[in-house]
Amino acid sequence: MAAILRAPGLGAVWGTVRGLATAVRQAEPATAGLDAKQMNLCSAVNDALHIAMDENPKTLVFGEDVSFGGVFRCTVGLAEKHGKHRVFNTPLCEQGIVGFGIGAAAQGYSPIVEIQFADYIFPAFDQITNEAAKYRFRSGGEFDVGGLTIRTPYGAVGHGGHYHSQSPEAFFTHIPGIKVVMPSGPRETKGLLLSAIRDPNPVVVFEAKMLYRTAVEDVPTGDYSIPLGRARIARAGSDVTLVGWGQQVLVLEQAAKELAASDGIEAEVIDLRTLLPWDADAVAASVEKTGRLVVSHEAPLTSGFGAEIVAAISDRCFYSLEAPPLRIAGYDTPFPLVCEPLYLPGVQRVVDGVRRLLRA
Amino acid sequence: MLRAAVGSLARKVSRSHLSHSAACRISTTSSCQKDVDYMDFPGGKVPFTEDLAWLGPGFTPRPTIPCYRALDSQGAPLPGTSLPHDIDQALATRMYETMISLQAVDTIFYEAQRQGRFSFYMTSTGEESTAVASAAALNPDDVVFTQYREQGVLMWRGYTPLDMANQCYGNALDSGKGRQMPVHYGSKALNFHTISSPLATQLPQAVGAAYALKLEGKAAVAACYFGEGAASEGDFHAALNFSATLSAPVVFICRNNGWAISTPASEQYRGDGIAGRGPSYGVPSLRVDGGDAVAVYNAVAEARRVALERRGPVLLEAMSYRSGHHSTSDDSSRYRAAEEMAAWRARDPVARFERWMAVRGWWDEARGVGARKAARREAIAALAAAAKQPRPPLSEMFSDVYDEPPPHLVAQRAEVEAFVRAHPETLPAGMPLE
């Protein structure tokens, strides 16, 4: 898979995003003052995993092919440093991986399990929705699997076709009892992943696989965390609120730049970071200010998480809205191979959508 | 993408092994010194054969795995039985009394459900000794995962008929706070993970728990119970394979009672039951007469010893018969013959154990009658006491979803409480707000 990421031929849409992601971004005040070094997203994940394994001897890392470092190299060096009893390969069976993780978590361990691609998380759907999510509730709080963290690479990658591109987050935001986290870059990923690992609830973390190698920025080398359930204003603006998560945040940031340069439209970009529970207050506050809402995600439109945001914000901000909220998403088809550039809600689609919205 | 690449690589490797060896075999002027008679494959050494020979039913069937037992169908001890683990009088008496209590609870609670006192019930009829004798052979430190027809394990560990009644009523004393259907018991103090309805999900969980026990260096196993129907789920496959490859000390105990609701075992599998699958996963396996408490006790005690000694899994298949209906929502006379049920009811495991105890002079009829009367009284009293308890407060509807309720749950709790204040008649009877 690493070879695939290095291969040329990413679509024009992603070419511009990659340029943006590669640029060094300014450190947030919360992490200012910490020593930092350039890391890509994959190194940021690896760094977080090393910190988690150092601080808690009951932290385990397992899944398919994690022992030699993982097919995306996120688990490099863990087995050598922390022992093969704590970092190990499992048989190729997703329901087994999550079920095994639940059992270890119920005994007080902190398993960080890897599902090789989010497209392959569905065999474990039963263990996640019927078991992990309900373990605490159904036992009256006597048992819980709060130590469990599920990491999985998600999203478009240029040529992943049906089963190496999916964004299944909306299936999981419909599950009371779990948390769903989708970081947007290396620094965000390390801080959010550490919070997910330490959170006393089962958490699913979708990692932007397009950004594993392409996104590089200053990431604090020490321990820091970013709270779950809190959105981030990625770019301040006054005319329209753009909400996204994961690698789509970079598309929205790029679109906001273009809108400012070409139309003088100042878009506020919100990186939602956590989808369950999501920061409705932050989005509502922004929409109260701008009067317009655009939500954008790679996943298909119908019943995507954008629908939840639009419904909730329409309810909360009805009198502040100056135009109908707009969703710019993947189409309601399986993720296509050769049509990927048209399928994705890229920069141009977002720019066009915002222009339409502001004319309305 | 990646998987396809890995797969084709594996095929290439195996092909090159084959072609190299084939070339050596057919060459008459070969420079091959001596052909090897096995393939050294990453998965292990595989011997070659020149016979195109199928293995399995209709070709070279393996013998059916025999069923280990210590007592005949009437409870008479069988001479020559290997009994590595002694059952003394005190232990036997406690096993017997627990089985009696389980039968009393099943009878009384089943009737209570038929009268509409609570919503659902499932009995253990015919499988009392599987649960109780296996539990007796475990250590209290052993962590237990079950399906739903193993309340005898909990009773052995100290769960009382009153605890059971509180759960079935879903009242304020139910540790599960009235959230799950009846018979979905659980107890942290008794090392018994809370039961859930989805079948077989507990199997890979038990493997993960066993692995954790091993890392902690505890001399304890995870014991995992399930029916033969549940063994058809993918999670059975996941669990057996993970337990073997990751060397987890878990004791799998399958209750093969012949029926999964209306589906007979003959429509569930075509192999040699569940025990027949174990060795294919690399899991030592044993079949035992589930209606024979002496055999079950010995098999489980031995399974536990082997699992701890080898730091690995063991599979037991306890053969029995579901003498009762599947649940209170099922009328099993619609799919099975009354004669079959009657024949098996005549092999009541508790009666078998009674006769074994009688042979040893450890049992007398008067004491048995007294014990049964006392057990019935306790079950009836438990139901009466549980019925008087209030329900858990409405606020518990939103707690424990997460460790702390996030803002949207706080808001939804306020919403339902406001609704109840506007429409007090909608609050279930006996339920306080807080």
**Residues B403, B268 within the same domain:** no
Burial of B110 (0-12, 13-18, 19+ CB in 10 A): middle
**Residues A100, A215 within the same domain:** yes
Residue that the structure tokens 């790679």 belong to? A298
- Closest residue by Cα to residue A345 from A167, A149, A124, A223: A167
Name the residue facing A138 among B194, B208, B399 (closest C-beta).
Answer: B194
Instruction: Tell me what pLDDT residue A123 has.
Output: 98
A164 is catalytic: yes
Q: How far is Cα B12 from Cα A226, in angstroms, rounded to an integer?
A: 47
Q: How far is Cα A119 from Cα A169, in angstroms, rounded to an integer?
A: 11
Q: How far is Cα B112 from Cα B376, in angstroms, rounded to an integer?
A: 13
Residue that the structure tokens 């070879």 belong to? A3
Question: Which entry of A64, A94, A308, A340 is annotated as an active-site residue?
Answer: A94
Cβ atoms of A75 and A43 within 8 Å: the answer is no
Q: Which amino acid, residue A241?
A: T
Coil, strand or helix: which one is A152? strand
Residue A84 confidence (pLDDT) above 80: yes
**Residues B420, B361 within the same domain:** no
Residue A21 confidence (pLDDT) above 80: no
Q: What's the pTM?
A: 0.92
In chain B, the number of structural domains is 2
In chain A, the number of structural domains is 2
**Residues A54, A161 within the same domain:** yes
Cβ atoms of B131 and B152 within 8 Å: the answer is yes
Confidence of residue B345 (pLDDT cuts 50, 70, 90): confident
Q: How far is Cα A326 from Cα A305, in angstroms, rounded to an integer?
A: 13
Q: Which two tokens stand for residue B91?
A: 């232990």
Q: Which two tokens stand for residue A285?
A: 């506050």
**Residues B275, B422 within the same domain:** no
Residue B40 confidence (pLDDT) above 60: yes
**Residues B361, B409 within the same domain:** no
pLDDT per residue over A210-225, tens digit each? 999 999 999 999 999 9
Residue that the structure tokens 């009657």 belong to? B342
**Residues A187, A250 within the same domain:** no
Instruction: Tell me what pLDDT residue B34 has.
Output: 66
Confidence of residue B10 (pLDDT cuts 50, 70, 90): very low
Mean pLDDT of A107-112: 98
Instruction: Tell me what pLDDT residue B311 has.
Output: 97
Where in the sequence numbering do the catalytic residues of B fall?
111, 197, 326-327
Q: Which chain A residues have a beta carbon less than 8 Å from that of B206?
A: 103
The parent domain of residue A255 ranges over 2-20+230-359
Coil, strand or helix: which one is B241? helix
Q: Is residue A225 part of a domain?
A: no
pLDDT greater at residue A342 or residue A27: A342
Over the Cα atoms of chain B, what is R_g?
Answer: 26
Q: DSSP states of A220-275 as a string?
A: ESS-----TT--EEEE--SSEEEEE-TTHHHHHHHHHHHHHHHH---EEEEE--EE
**Residues A295, A347 within the same domain:** yes
pLDDT per residue over B236-273, tens digit each? 999 999 999 999 999 999 999 999 999 999 999 999 99
**Residues A281, A236 within the same domain:** yes
- Least confident residue range of B208-217, B314-323, B345-354, B419-428: B345-354
Q: Which chain B residues have a beta carbon less than 8 Å from that of A106?
A: 193, 205, 208-209
Q: What percent of chain B has pLDDT over 70?
A: 92
Q: Which chain A residues have a beta carbon less than 8 Å from that of B406?
A: 229, 277
Instruction: Tell me what pLDDT residue A11 has.
Output: 36
Query: Looking at CA atoms only, how far is residue B339 from chain A in angstroms?
Result: 39
Q: Which residues face A152 on adjacent strands? A: A206
Q: Which two tokens stand for residue B410?
A: 């706080």
Residue that the structure tokens 């390969």 belong to? A89
Cβ atoms of A136 and A144 within 8 Å: the answer is yes
The parent domain of residue B236 ranges over 89-387
CA B331 to chain CA centroid, Å, is: 23
Residue that the structure tokens 């970079």 belong to? A250
Query: In whole numbers, what is the pLDDT of chain B averaged over residues?
Result: 92
Residue A10 confidence (pLDDT) above 70: no
**Residues A257, A146 within the same domain:** no
**Residues A242, A325 within the same domain:** yes
Residue ranges of alpha helices (H) inside A71-210 are: 78-82, 94-106, 125-126, 135-138, 169-173, 186-198
**Residues B115, B238 within the same domain:** yes
**Residues A235, A192 within the same domain:** no
Residue among B177, B187, B241, B242 with most chain A CBs within 10 A, to mutate: B242
Confidence of residue A55 (pLDDT cuts 50, 70, 90): very high
- Rounded to whole angstroms, the maximal C-alpha distance in chain B is 97
Query: Looking at CA atoms only, how far is residue A40 from chain B in angstroms?
Result: 21
Instruction: Tell me what pLDDT residue A33 has.
Output: 73
Question: Does the CA dihedral A207-A208-A212-A215 come out positive or negative?
Answer: negative
Q: Is residue B262 part of a domain?
A: yes
Mean pLDDT of B316-328: 93
pLDDT per residue over B204-242, tens digit each? 999 999 999 999 999 999 999 999 999 999 999 999 999
Residue A359 confidence (pLDDT) above 80: yes
Instruction: Tell me what pLDDT residue B2 has.
Output: 45
Mean pLDDT of B20-43: 63
Q: Which chain A residues have a beta carbon less than 8 Å from that of B282?
A: none
**Residues B374, B252 within the same domain:** yes
**Residues B197, B235 within the same domain:** yes
- Least confident residue range of A1-10, A207-216, A245-254, B70-79: A1-10
Instruction: Tell me what pLDDT residue B60 has.
Output: 87
Instruction: Tell me what pLDDT residue B351 has.
Output: 93
Q: Is residue A26 part of a domain?
A: no
Cβ contact A100–B188 (<8 Å): no
**Residues A234, A350 within the same domain:** yes
- Least confident residue range of A21-35, A36-50, A171-185, A240-254: A21-35
Q: Give the DSSP H/E element, type plus range, for residue B294.
A: helix B293-310
Cβ contact B198–A71 (<8 Å): no
Instruction: Tell me what pLDDT residue B33 has.
Output: 55
Phi, psi of B68 (to 5 degrees): -70, 130
Q: Is residue A25 part of a domain?
A: no
Burial of B7 (0-12, 13-18, 19+ CB in 10 A): exposed
Residue B1 confidence (pLDDT) above 90: no
Residue B6 confidence (pLDDT) above 60: no
Cβ contact A1–B1 (<8 Å): yes
Instruction: Tell me what pLDDT residue A128 has.
Output: 98
Cβ contact A103–B209 (<8 Å): yes
Q: The CATH number of the domain where A273 resides is what?
A: 3.40.50.920
Residue A149 confidence (pLDDT) above 80: yes
